A = this chain, B = another copy of it.
């Protein structure tokens, strides 16, 4: 009775056969399933570039994707579910890019963010304007917070608990928020400076704060 093999719907019940179990076991997914999901993701992304996210209906999506209504609900819980899963793919994409990059010795691999933003500018802007920005911000922030906390954990291992009186997670939140804010502002610019340049500004502020401006 496999109903749609390999759907991550319920995070519990651990007998789902398709969930990329542990190691790199290819695990074949029915072509039809692949095609359907891809169509839906593509359709949503296209629509996001055309109208506000919160004005997009499930009907719009399945029309564009040319997929049956019931099929949609066989794959995703609702529109948000589709969107979030799509974002995760994006997140992975960025993470892969970041792996190559190796921003010299910067604390945050911030350049990757700006470069990824550069390449996907239209989509990002559409998302932020359309009411889907919440998800995106949260996702980005989680990435950065993890990044920074790891970094701080390494070099700050001597000062256990708090570094200079400021707990690592506060620092992480601070930097992540700053990063996302600068990023979204930069994405909205009409004639934006290149990613390397905005990254330099961010790094300067992150390292020395306002003091660097005197």
Contact = CB atoms under 8 A, between A and B. Distances in A.
Nearest to A131: B134
A173 B181 CA distance: 6
A108 to B, nearest CB: 10
Given A177-B179, A179-B177, A181-B178, A213 B163 contact: yes
Contacts of A205: 166, 170-171, 174, 209
A32 interface: no
A206 B209 contact: yes
A92 interface: no
Nearest to A151: B210
A107 B213 CA distance: 13
Nearest to A176: B181
A134 B204 CA distance: 28
A182 interface: yes
A208 interface: yes
A125 interface: no
**Top 4 A-B residue pairs of the complex, sorted by shortest distance between their CB atoms:** A177-B181, A209-B209, A178-B178, A173-B185
Interface of A: 107, 131, 133-134, 141, 156, 163-167, 169-171, 173-182, 185, 198, 201-202, 204-214
Given A166-B205, A175-B178, A206-B210, 9 more contacts: A131-B134, A141-B181, A170-B205, A174-B202, A177-B178, A178-B181, A207-B209, A208-B211, A209-B212
